[in-house]
Amino acid sequence: MQAMWITVSEDLGDICPVFRKTWNCSGHVKCARIMMSSLGVYEAELNGKRISDYVLAPGWTSYKTRLQYQEYDITEMLEEKNTLEITVGKGWFRSRMADFAYPEEAEKRQKQPCGLIAQLSVIYKDGKQEELYTDETWEYAESPVRFSEIYDGEVYDACFCPADWKRAVILNWSKDILIPQEGCKIREMERIYAKSVFRTPRGELVVDFGQEVTGYVEFSVNAHEGERIHILHGEMTDHEGNFYNENYRSAKAEITYICRAGRQTWHPRLTFFGFRYIMLDEFPKMEDSELYTEQFTANAVYSDMEQTGHIASSDNRLNRLVSNIMWGQKGNFLDVPTDCPQRDERLGWTGDAQVFVKAACYNFDTEKFFTKWLRDLAAEQRKDGAVTTVVPDYMPGDRPSAAWGDAAVICPWQIYMIYGNEKILEDQFDSMKRWVDYITASTKKPFLWTGGEHYGDWLGLDAPAGSYKGSSREDLIATAYYAYSTELLIRAGRVIGKDMGEYEELHRRIVSAFRKTFPGYYTQTEHVLAVHFGLAEDVQKTADDLAELIIQDGTQIKTGFVGTPLILHVLSSYGHTALAYSLLLRTGYPSWLYPVEKGATTIWEHWDGIRTDGNFWSADMNSFNHYSYGAVADWIYEVAAGITPVEKAPGFRRVRIEPHPDGRIGWLEVSVRTRNGMVSSRWNCEKDSIRYDIKTEMPAEIIIDGKTMNVEPGKYTFWGRLQNT
């Protein structure tokens, strides 16, 4: 690439620069393409029109070694005289990301330079070729974007016109880090129209979109020149109905817009927010209450993924839960699988990603999304093989944690199983192996993982007072995941033709050491892990003990981030499907449906983000869009509907369908579009009988009432007995 990095020659402070290049076409254009990237996020316009609908390009990667560039076809946009303008904001590259935990690192990040690199190639119909690329001939000026940052929002002055253009300067920055676009394009995927505009008891003017989204608000207004619009974002109103966003912590999450004269429509372009409500702190005519819902639209922004899974039932509460899970994924799959999209965090937590990856792959086609992120995980992996707790690594002082670092192994395996592409295992195998080797080298006791510092069963409801961690023993959790990651590494190695004898022996020793060290289990999560990872001496008895413990606890879950995604699977795998349904359908706190009863439109971080008395859990760590507990969706796909890929035929080359109905739900219909076709499973309760309607576009193994039938692609109807109530 001949293009050079360019930057500004002065400190513009918080103002976003706009870079410019003008040129004349010297003939009839056959084709023209432009490649570009930035240190920050950019928006490019050619002759006053946006080049692409890509939002927040070039995306978020491990910037030290990997920076995506995008390539656009601009043939139809060229004119005889052309002006290319590219505005560069701070984005993830230069915002104060993770300053709540690592302020010094965030300060260094904020001091990094803004940069742009672009190369334009024009081929004329007479065969002549012309190249234009970033160098000292480009110009820059202050843009109307007076401030833009991930946590704090955007300030835009529509009255400001760039002037006083100056020469750009060459920036000494590596071009070796540039890679072609790998991930999904980030786009405005959906538009949510305002549901209501109302006054709160405090007199605040608030717009409710009826659905929490990640993205930004777009508004239309007829204003006088210089009038200000100031908008705050929030997820909730408090128990009195007032606007609430204290849980955003230090993130200001606000936009300020200086109006030009006349009618105008605007939305931020270089940042994003997580919100359901906006508060109009300043807005033209707001005192006259002449505001209408038609003036406000929430643009949902997320990675361009095709929805592949669909779940519907006769239970509207369950349908709302499924909708919340889908929206939680959309809101947190904005180029990186983040924990939350609203507060001063928005980081790619590895633990959240691994517990949700299976559900994510059923809900949407996430192969491309995860492939890109896993390459960043490998790039951030430390020299000793340790996996960072967030990817990209904006928390370099964090120690590796079990169930978080295991994303290095669990995610590639799950993607392979759902999509059937061995390349993900080939590409990630070294990273997977290095993680297992890291545990082996760092433990204080051979074949156990002891001595580490972990997040434990994060937010487990059995946590001791004052702790965010559950009561499950951290060494037990760590060793259980050590065994599981080793087992998956062995499976992956076999798929791609590796000799895994050394790790097979390691796994046997880990299991033996686990059984000797942890002969008994005290919490729900300890039981879950011992069963699900095949570590208990007697898995059936341990599963039975788990069921009894759950009933003793009031038929409710006490698990956190580690135990919750697996607990229903363990129960249904060992004869306790009815109890699993009881947990799924429970409406009181704690349960999946408790937030639904409280009006949730996404998945909450805490089971009681809003407590039974109407008060909030806290302002310290209380996200209302946190997808992890939405992992329950994979149980609905795999157990309730019974759809699973066969391990020897990954990617659903062959499908296993074994539905597990429950009379408390009248009917359930689930479908999944796979790499090898569509499969759907529907059951309908009719008195003491169940009607099953199954469609499959691939060979299938169908199991009804314990009877197995091997079938070819087609439509099938069966009748069975209603067993679970």
Task: Delimit the domains of the chain by residue range.
Answer: 6-147+158-181, 188-303, 309-640, 655-721
| Cα gap 547→574, rounded to integer Å | 10
HEC sequence for 652-684: CCCEEECCCCCCCCCEEEEEEEECCEEEEEEEE
Q: What is the pTM of this model?
A: 0.97
pLDDT tens track for 502-518: 999 999 999 999 999 99
Q: Output the average pLDDT for the chain.
A: 96
Q: What is the mean pLDDT of residues 544-563?
A: 97
Kindly write down the DSSP assignment for every residue of 25-49, as one continuous string. --S-EEEEEEEEEEESEEEEEETTE
Superfamily of domain 188-303: Galactose-binding domain-like (2.60.120.260)
| Cα gap 48→67, rounded to integer Å | 27
Which among 105, 149, 605, 638 is annotated as catalytic? 605
CA distances to 121, 415, 577, 628 from 565, rounded to whole Å, are 50, 17, 15, 8
pLDDT value, residue 1: 79
- Does 198 have pLDDT greater than 60? yes
pLDDT value, residue 657: 98
pLDDT value, residue 685: 95
pLDDT value, residue 466: 84
Beta bridge mates, 60: none
pLDDT value, residue 632: 98
| Cα gap 35→72, rounded to integer Å | 6
Helices (H), 559-708: 564-573, 577-585, 593-597, 633-635
- Compute the radius of gyration of the chain from its Cα atoms: 27
pLDDT-wise least confident of 63-77, 187-201, 239-253, 275-289: 275-289
Residues 634/359, Cβ–Cβ less than 8 Å: yes
Beta bridge mates, 154: 148, 255
CB atoms within 10 A of CB 121: 15
The helix/strand count (H/E) of the chain reads as: 15, 36
pLDDT value, residue 605: 97
- Residue (of 218, 220, 243) closest to 233 by Cα position: 243
| Cα gap 564→635, rounded to integer Å | 11
Q: How confident is the model at residue 300 (pLDDT cuts 50, 70, 90)?
A: very high
Orientation angle between helical segments 350-363 and 564-573, nearest 10 degrees? 50
| Cα gap 301→319, rounded to integer Å | 23
Kindly write down the DSSP assignment for every residue of 145-157, as one continuous string. EEEEETTTEEEEE
pLDDT value, residue 693: 98
Q: Which phi and psi (to 5°) does residue 517 adopt?
A: -80, -35
End-to-end alpha carbon distance in the chain: 66
Q: What is the mean pLDDT of residues 7-16?
A: 97
Q: What angle do CA 412, 650, 509 make, to 5 degrees?
A: 55
Which among 139, 212, 254, 345 is annotated as catalytic? 345
Look at the domain 309-640 and name its fold: Glycosyltransferase (1.50.10)
pLDDT value, residue 288: 58
Residues 606/567, Cβ–Cβ less than 8 Å: no
Residues 143/162, Cβ–Cβ less than 8 Å: yes
CA distances to 370, 386, 395 from 97, rounded to whole Å, are 22, 22, 9
Q: How confident is the model at residue 413 (pLDDT cuts 50, 70, 90)?
A: very high
| Cα gap 30→124, rounded to integer Å | 5
Higher pLDDT, 286 or 491: 491
Is 605 an active-site residue? yes
pLDDT value, residue 289: 59
| Cα gap 593→665, rounded to integer Å | 14
Q: Is the peptide bond before 17 cis (omega within 30 degrees of 0)?
A: no
pLDDT value, residue 291: 80
Which position has the token pair 């992992």? 631
Q: What angle do CA 717, 720, 722 make, to 5 degrees?
A: 135
| Cα gap 695→693, rounded to integer Å | 7
Q: What is the mean pLDDT of residues 108-119?
A: 97
- Does 686 have pLDDT greater than 90? no
Q: Do domains 6-147+158-181 and 309-640 have the same CATH topology?
A: no
Is 380 an active-site residue? no
Orientation angle between helical segments 367-380 and 423-442, nearest 10 degrees? 40
What percent of the chain has pLDDT above 70?
99
pLDDT value, residue 292: 86
- Does 165 have pLDDT greater than 80? yes
| Cα gap 162→15, rounded to integer Å | 12
Superfamily of domain 6-147+158-181: Galactose-binding domain-like (2.60.120.260)
Helices (H), 462-592: 474-495, 501-517, 524-532, 539-552, 564-573, 577-585
pLDDT value, residue 724: 57
pLDDT tens track for 224-234: 999 999 999 99
Q: How confident is the model at residue 21 (pLDDT cuts 50, 70, 90)?
A: very high
622: its two tokens = 């209380």
109: its two tokens = 């990040």
Q: 205 Cβ partners below 8 Å, 6+ apart?
A: 197, 198, 199, 279, 280, 283, 286, 289, 291
User: Measured on CA atoms in the order 170, 176, 177, 181, is the torsion positive or negative?
Assistant: positive
Q: 455 Cβ partners below 8 Å, 6+ apart?
A: 351, 389, 401, 403, 404, 469, 561
pLDDT value, residue 452: 87
- Does 725 have pLDDT greater than 70? no
With b meaning 16 or more CB within 10 Å and e meaning fewer, what string describes 22-51? eeeeeeebeebebbbbbbbbbbbbbeeeeb
Largest CA distance in the chain: 82
Superfamily of domain 655-721: Maltose phosphorylase, domain 3 (2.60.420.10)
